[in-house]
A and B are shown apart, each in its own frame.
Chain A
Amino acid sequence: MKIMVAVKRVVDYAVKIRVKPDKSGVETQNVKMSMNPFCEIALEEALRIKEAGLAKEVVAVSMGLANCVDTLRTSLAMGADRGIHVEAARELIPLTVAKILKKLVEVENPGLLILGKQAIDDDCNQTGQMIAGLLGWPQGTFASKVVLDKEKQVVTVDREVDGGLETLCLDLPAVITTDLRLNQPRYATLPNIMKAKSKPIKKYTPEELNVEIKSDLEVVQVTEPPKRKAGVILSSVDELIDKLRNEAHVI
């Protein structure tokens, strides 16, 4: 069985982001970029399934400008077997990503499609659900535990939902999106980084896949949230009561 994992190149999670002066977006020039943390978890899960002998191959897919290849190299260094890069000149919205993935799924025929639950730059949390809808496949989102049963061709997924944990049993092929507690991704070891240099990355363009890149959404403005005011240290209980009554209006 083949597993396909979609990975996204985003601004590194630990970077202090700044809004561009023209408010059109977030500053991405000269800022450290790396793999979306949830995508890392998705890839780690795919690799574990492969190492357990339940899958033959892990294919990593990324879409965007040429620098996506860095993220694909990281995936290969972690242990993926092949990479696919879909070149696109613009930011892709989740629906477009889902449509492209559908075409790739038709080419590659994976038994399992694993994605991160959301990307940390747009926080959309849509791609997994959309691709499942387009393919007509069952979906297990916010997975915190994944157990594959090859014989019965089902995958049991524990989902983290607001009320607690929900366990679903999905027939393969299926779509899984991963949540934080699923696993701890491995580090890219030097021997694997060296091996990754010779692993193939196939390039596609959206035209080849017959997908039209159009965005129904337009970013109007990006602003920072209002700054938190500094706390004030009060010197007496009277001052506290005064502030609660007159400033906060809670008593």
Chain B
Amino acid sequence: MEKLRATSNLRRSLKSLLNRRLSSGSDFTHFNQKRSFQTSFNWIRDYKSVGEVNAVQYRYFSSVSTLVQRNPSFSTLNSDDISYFKGLLGEKNVIQDEDRLETVNTDWMHKYKGSSKLLLQPRSTEEVSQILRYCNSRCLAVVPQAGNTGLVGGSVPVFDEVIVNVGSMNNIISFDKVSGILVCEAGCILENLISFLDNQGFVMPLDLGAKGSCQIGGNVSTNAGGLRLVRYGSLHGNVLGLEAVLANGDVLDMLGTLRKDNTGYDLKHLFIGSEGSLGIVTKVSILTPPKLSSVNLAFLACKDYSSCQKLLVEAKRKLGEILSAIEFLDDQAMVLVLHHLDGVRNPLPTSMHNFYVLIETIGSDDSFDREKLEAFLLSSMEGGLISDGVLAQDINQLSSFWRIREGVPEALMKAGAVYKYDLSLPVEKMYNLVDDMRVRLGNLAKVVGYGHLGDGNLHLNISAPQYDDAILEQIEPYVYEWTSKHRGSISAEHGLGLMKANKIYYSKTPETVQIMASIKTLLDPNGILNPYKVLPHSINP
């Protein structure tokens, strides 16, 4: 099914790019300044020397990018195109500068790098529409890009696709204080929306480690999950409407602000999670829950995975409506975080435990919530489910506990090469996969497991000093087959992007995928939107 053609030219040029990147430290600080992945964290301070830059591995010779061929039906940019765009958007918003292109061509993990020669920054839906209409007529491939924090290579070009970055469209259009319905443009950074809503007494229904950089358009297009899914549900439930631009430039105005609207087929759901392959989301209307005053966080230790599971069941039952997040990480993840991140303190320093669970409650009455939480924790301790734990006493302690869980991806990046898998599995079986992988890989690599215990979502990460195909062989397709056997999802929340474009059959039937392909052809006949991603290359060239 996959076209295997090692293009030696491609590899050579990638290798020279790689060498150039590793030797110029300045690249990296610029990169750091753009990408504050963690909110309370200073990137520049943490990359102390160029030497440390070299410790991060670039996986340009990843097996995937050499398996895809550039679709010959896409045109190449010419000077007429550039003049057109400059006329449409103004000189400042048409970027061909190599340094800036370097950043937008590379994903957050430094795993995927495209070779786009053009970055466009439209400021309005109308401009996006004109861009796409033009690109469609010229058959120029386009990559919609927002915060570029995706982890499956879906936000960067594979070859020379034109990057359309919605970051300049960052206005909040309206907010209804009674209903909590927020209408904003796709380029609003999630953390900015959270601060805005904070002043109004509301919160965003999603929260993830990337909040300092990710944009709501990207979150919606990828149906981002995050830490509070267990409480607020997925974006499919919270997004009330959106406005999207189709490949031919048509603007689909589905920007409703109604809680209930059963008139016809609900098309917005197609765009939520389609990773920019059906249209570019330009505006979002989202229902935001009220901000409740009492937040409590417990950082607990369990001796084995079955205790974590039982704890989850007990938490859902005993904490009920105030439970807002339940996350877990294993001892390997904890060790990595303590080692690689600055200013992180182990809340349970007296001994290393096998599993750590974070349980957060959000409610409106502090004393009531505390009582409930303490009663639950006491009974869990007495029942032997928890071996130790701490309860955050103020907001600072709360943030430092969250930092530990939210900082795992970052710590993994600093530790060297990382193979990331995001799987949905039945909760009882979730950790078995981690144990299996440890046996399979032995001394080759470190296997780290953490994730959203409440949603049955495991983030399986394999950390090695360097990328090595021998390691990859042991991982894929074993991980996918394992997941498929348990009827799990090979991508719980990260999406398919480029990384898993050909893996969809592990979780979806061929008939289903066929319909997806038909929809894609219907909405994007020339296939210019985010090509080579999401759907298998055999049906989505």
* Chain B positions 391-422 with a Cβ under 8 Å from a chain A Cβ: 391-397, 399
- Is B216 part of the binding interface, using a Cβ–Cβ cutoff of 8 Å? no
Q: Is the CB of A31 within 8 A of B393?
A: no
Let me know if B395 and A189 touch, CB within 8 A. Answer: no
Min CB gap A79→B, angstroms: 13
Chain B residue with the shortest CB-CB distance to A184 = B345
Q: State the main secondary structure of chain B at its contact with A.
A: mixed
Q: Does A118 contact B (CB under 8 A)?
A: no
**Given the complex of chains A and B, what is the CA–CA distance between A30 and B345 in angstroms?**
29
CB <8 Å contact, B389 and A190: yes
Let me know if A12 and B347 touch, CB within 8 A: no
| A190 proximity list for chain B (CB < 8 A) | 298, 300, 377-378, 381, 386, 388-391
A15 touching B395, Cβ below 8 Å: yes
Q: Is there an interface contact between A13 and B389, defined as CB atoms closer than 8 Å?
A: no
Q: How far is the CB of B393 from chain A (nearest CB, A)?
A: 5
Range class of the A interface residue count: 20 to 34
B393 near A194 with CB under 8 A, answer no
Contacts of A74 in B (CB 8 A): 393
Smallest beta-carbon distance A83→chain B, Å: 15
Inter-subunit contact A14/B381 (CB<8 Å): no
Interface residue ranges of B337-359 to A (CB < 8 Å): 345, 347-348
Instruction: Report yes or no: B345 in contact with A13, Cβ–Cβ below 8 A.
Output: no
- Known A-B contacts A30-B293, A190-B389; the reply to A16 vs B394 at CB < 8 A is no
Task: Say yes or no: B394 contacts A13, CB within 8 Å.
Answer: yes
CB-defined interface of B470-491 with A at 8 Å, one 1/0 digit per residue?
0000000000000000000000
B293 lies within 8 A of A35 (CB): no
Asked if B395 contacts A32 (CB within 8 A), the reply is yes
Does B240 lie at the interface of the complex (its beta carbon under 8 Å from any beta carbon of A)?
A: no
In the complex, how many angstroms separate the beta carbon of B188 from the nearest chain A beta carbon?
18
Q: Please tell me if the beta carbons of B394 and A187 are within 8 angstroms of each other in the complex.
A: no
CA A195 to CA B392, docked complex, whole Å:
17
A50, chain B: closest CB distance, angstroms: 18
**A187→B397 contact, CB < 8 A:** yes
A16-B198, A31-B293, A32-B295 known; A188+B394 contact, CB < 8 A: no
Which of chain B's residues has its CB closest to A71's CB?
A: B393
Bound CA span A15–B390, Å: 21
- Contact (Cβ within 8 A) A35 B393: yes
> Is B374 in contact with chain A by the CB < 8 A criterion?
yes
Evaluate contact between A12 and B390: CB separation under 8 angstroms. Answer: no
Interface size class of B (residues with CB under 8 A): 20 to 34
Q: Are B345's CB and A34's CB within 8 A? A: no
CB contacts (< 8 Å) of B381 on chain A: these are 190-191, 194
B391 and A188: CB pair below 8 A? yes
Whether B386 lies near A34 (C-beta < 8 A) is no
Asked if A54 is at the interface of the complex by the 8 Å CB criterion, the answer is: no
Specify which of A14, A16, A31, A187 lies most central, judged by the most chain B CB atoms within 10 Å of its CB: A187
Interface pair A34/B388, CB less than 8 Å apart: no
B346 CB to nearest A CB, Å: 10
- State which of B345, B374, B399 has its C-beta within 8 Å of the C-beta of A193: B374
Most B CB contacts (10 A, CB to CB) among A15, A31, A37, A194 go to: A194
Measured CB to CB, the closest approach of chain B to A242, in angstroms, equals 22
Instruction: Annotate A164-208 by CB proximity to B: 1 below 8 A, 0 otherwise.
Output: 000000000000000000001001111101100000000000000
Q: Which of B198, B199, B388 contacts A189 (CB 8 A)?
A: B388
Chain A residues whose CB sits within 8 angstroms of the CB of B294 once the complex forms: 32
Determine which of B293, B345, B374, B389 lies in contact with A32 in the assembled complex, contact meaning CB atoms within 8 Å. B293
Q: Is the CB of B395 within 8 A of A191?
A: no
Q: Quick one: which of A32-68 are within 8 Å of B by CB?
A: 32, 34-35, 37
Are B396 and A188 interface neighbours, CB within 8 A?
A: no
**Min CB–CB distance B293 → chain A (angstroms):** 5
| Assembled-state Cα–Cα distance A193/B377 (Å) | 10
B293 & A14 in contact (Cβ 8 Å cutoff): no
A12-B394 CB under 8 A given contacts A30-B293, A190-B388, A194-B381: yes
Residue-wise, chain B 359-392 has the 8 Å CB interface mask toward A (1 for contact) of 0000000110000001001100100001011111
Provide the residues of chain A in CB contact with B397, threshold 8 Å: 187
Cα A37 to Cα B298 in complex, Å, equals 20
Instruction: Provide the residues of chain A in CB contact with B300, threshold 8 Å.
Output: 190
B residues within 8 A CB of A189?
348, 388-390
Known contacts A31-B293, A193-B374, A188 near B393 by CB under 8 Å: yes
A-contact bits for B194-225, CB 8 A (1 contact / 0 none): 00001100000000000000000000000000
Q: How far is the CB of A48 from chain B (nearest CB, A)?
A: 15
Residue contact A14 to B399, C-beta cutoff 8 Å: yes
Q: What 1/0 flags go to B1-34 for Cβ under 8 Å of A?
A: 0000000000000000000000000000000000
Distance of A148 from chain B, by nearest CB (Å): 24
A78 to chain B, nearest CB (A): 8
List 26 interface pairs A-B (beta carbons < 8 Å), by A numbering: A12-B394, A12-B396, A13-B394, A13-B396, A14-B399, A32-B293, A32-B295, A32-B366, A32-B394, A32-B395, A37-B394, A37-B396, A70-B367, A187-B390, A187-B397, A188-B390, A188-B391, A189-B348, A189-B389, A190-B298, A190-B390, A191-B388, A193-B374, A193-B391, A194-B374, A194-B378
A interface residues with partner B (beta carbon < 8 Å): 12-16, 30-32, 34-35, 37, 70, 74, 77, 184, 187-191, 193-194
Q: B residues within 8 Å of A by Cβ?
A: 198-199, 293-295, 298, 300, 345, 347-348, 366-367, 374, 377-378, 381, 386, 388-397, 399
Q: A13-B396, A32-B395, A191-B381 are in contact. List 11 more A-B contacts (CB 8 A).
A: A12-B396, A14-B394, A14-B399, A34-B394, A34-B395, A35-B393, A70-B367, A187-B392, A190-B391, A191-B388, A194-B374
